[in-house]
């Protein structure tokens, strides 16, 4: 598989998403490693479904719902700005968690399990199907339905 390297900011406080800003930290990410990107590249997910999955994953990571290893002690409000940039780190984390929980609720019971495993935990579809004790190749349809609902929640499309 060919690597697809892009620069991504670790924070969303910059003027343009994806553009490194002086004083901000950025990392190089291989987009080909994402299970959603893999499915999209092979025609199993539409552009809209991929965008919805990436929004969900971004909110999951901003909400810091995965296991953490440190604590932040900087509750300083950022002056000026609007939306998430007017919030301090804790408030941004809470807002992301609320969006994530809303998106998962929009996907609905029975659909959110595979959605979380593939989009957020980074599990491959076959691994998610095995973990959920589903028949092989059944997860793709369920994932697509869940991503369509999440796209509606985020207003994509």
Phi-psi domain of 52 (left: phi exceeds 0; alpha: psi -120 through 50; beta: other): alpha
- Within 10 angstroms of residue 98's Cβ, the number of other Cβ atoms is 12
| Domain ranges, ordered by start, for the chain | 1-33, 35-154
Q: pLDDT, tens digit, for every residue of 40-77?
A: 989 999 999 999 999 999 999 898 887 666 665 655 55
Task: Tell me how far apart the alpha carbons of residues 117 and 49 are, in angstroms, rounded to a whole number.
Answer: 15
Q: pLDDT, tens digit, for every residue of 100-135?
A: 999 999 999 999 999 999 999 999 999 999 999 999
């Amino acid at each position: 598989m060919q690597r697809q390297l892009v620069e991504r900011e670790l924070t969303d406080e910059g003027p343009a998403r994806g553009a490194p800003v002086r004083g901000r930290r950025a990392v190089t990410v291989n987009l080909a490693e994402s299970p959603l990107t893999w499915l999209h590249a092979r025609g199993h997910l539409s552009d809209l479904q991929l965008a919805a999955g990436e929004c969900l994953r971004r909110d999951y990571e901003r909400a810091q719902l995965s296991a953490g290893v440190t604590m932040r002690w900087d509750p300083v409000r950022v002056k000026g700005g609007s939306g998430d940039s007017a919030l301090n780190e804790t408030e941004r984390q809470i807002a992301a968690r609320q969006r994530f929980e809303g998106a998962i609720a929009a996907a609905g019971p029975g659909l959110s399990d595979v959605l979380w495993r593939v989009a957020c935990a980074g599990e491959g579809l076959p691994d998610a199907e095995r973990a959920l004790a589903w028949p092989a190749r059944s997860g793709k349809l369920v994932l697509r339905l869940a991503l369509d609902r999440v796209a509606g929640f985020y207003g994509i499309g």
